[in-house]
Structure 1
Amino acid sequence: MARILFVDDDQVEQLFAREVLAVHGHEMVCARDGEEALEVYLTEGMYIDAVVTDLAMPRLNGLRLIEALREIDPNVLILAASGRNADQLDLAENAGVSAVFYKPWDPARFLATLERLLESEAEEARAIPDWSFRKASA
């Protein structure tokens, strides 16, 4: 089970995402815009496994949110979605997101991508050698 910060100003998108994620055992924390997402990440970031963000939102848009999250945690797993502009998705890819989705997004593709990225990240964490243990036992 993963804890996902889902950032979108559209309540229908939030409800749909919550249902899709819950059916697959994931927990979702919602934010309506980038500013609210930053507040959540600053207080709960250590418990967030991935951030899924829309790009077109009021106050702080998705691209600026991505930049701010990267400053806080360069390794945060971020997926971006947009239904308005493919150029914004290109900009999000250039900003270092792990995946992009066009809205309306396909739940099966979204889940497969999210779970693959989460598993890949977990494998990387397991593969990091514990140098202090090796040094102490040498």
Structure 2
Amino acid sequence: MARVLIADDEESMRALVARAIAMDGHMVATAEDGAEALEIISREDGAFDLLLTDIKMPIMDGIALALTVARDYPDVTILLMTGFADQRERATGLDAIVFDVVTKPFSVAEIRAAAARALASRKSGA
């Protein structure tokens, strides 16, 4: 069972992703934006296996969050989500720190599969 932190400013999306990830038996924590997510991950001293974050959020966006988490907690696997093509382009070049970018809208099966792939990459060292 993995520990997953989900950051998304849309409550309905956050709840959907949290339910989807919990279906696979993972422990889930949620945050409304990047700043809250950083506060949670810092308080837990990086004790998460996966950070699943939206790119476009107020206060601190997902890319700033990913850069900070990758620097401070390099063992956390990062998976980005976005519904905006321009935001997806902003993630180009982050391959060294981000496992993948999942395009919204997605199905429960798609987000579960993306999370499973990201978590599997941790075990294989990919």
Q: TM-score, normalising length from structure 1?
A: 0.81
Measured against aligned partners, the alpha-carbon deviations of 1:12-65 in whole angstroms (never above 9, x if no partner) come to 011111211122111210111111111111111442110000011110111111
Conserved? CA contact 2:17–2:111, under 8 Å: no
3-state SS of the aligned residue for 2:39?
Answer: helix
Q: Which runs of 5+ in 1 are unaligned?
A: 126-138
Matched, 1:6 2:6: yes
Q: Which residue of 2 aligns with 1:94?
A: 93
Conserved? CA contact 2:4–2:51, under 8 Å: yes
Query: Structure 1: which amino acid aligns with 2:79?
Result: L
Counterparts of 2:104 and 2:124 in 1: how far apart (Å)? 29
Q: With CA pairs under 8 Å and 6+ residues apart, which has the higher RCO, 1 or 2?
A: 2
Counterparts of 1:74 and 1:37 in 2: how far apart (Å)? 16
Q: Which residue of 2 aligns with 1:56?
A: 56
Query: Structure 2: which amino acid aligns with 1:6?
Result: I
Counterparts of 1:82 and 1:6 in 2: how far apart (Å)? 13
Query: Structure 2: which amino acid aligns with 1:51?
Result: L
- How many positions carry a matched residue from both structures? 124
Specify the structure having the higher radius of gyration (Cα): 1
Measured against aligned partners, the alpha-carbon deviations of 1:83-133 in whole angstroms (never above 9, x if no partner) come to 1x22322322422310111111222122122112212212339xxxxxxxx
Q: Which residue of 1 aligns with 2:113?
A: 112
Query: Structure 2: which amino acid aligns with 1:68?
Result: T
Counterparts of 1:29 and 1:50 in 2: how far apart (Å)? 11
3-state SS of the aligned residue for 2:125?
Answer: helix
Query: What is the CA-CA distance between 1:74 and the residue it aligns to?
Result: 2.9
Q: Which runs of 5+ in 2 are unaligned?
A: none
Counterparts of 1:52 and 1:10 in 2: how far apart (Å)? 14
Query: What is the CA-CA distance between 1:2 and the residue it aligns to?
Result: 1.1
Q: Which residue of 2 aligns with 1:128?
A: none
* Bigger proportion of residues as helix: 1
Q: TM-score, normalising length from structure 2?
A: 0.88
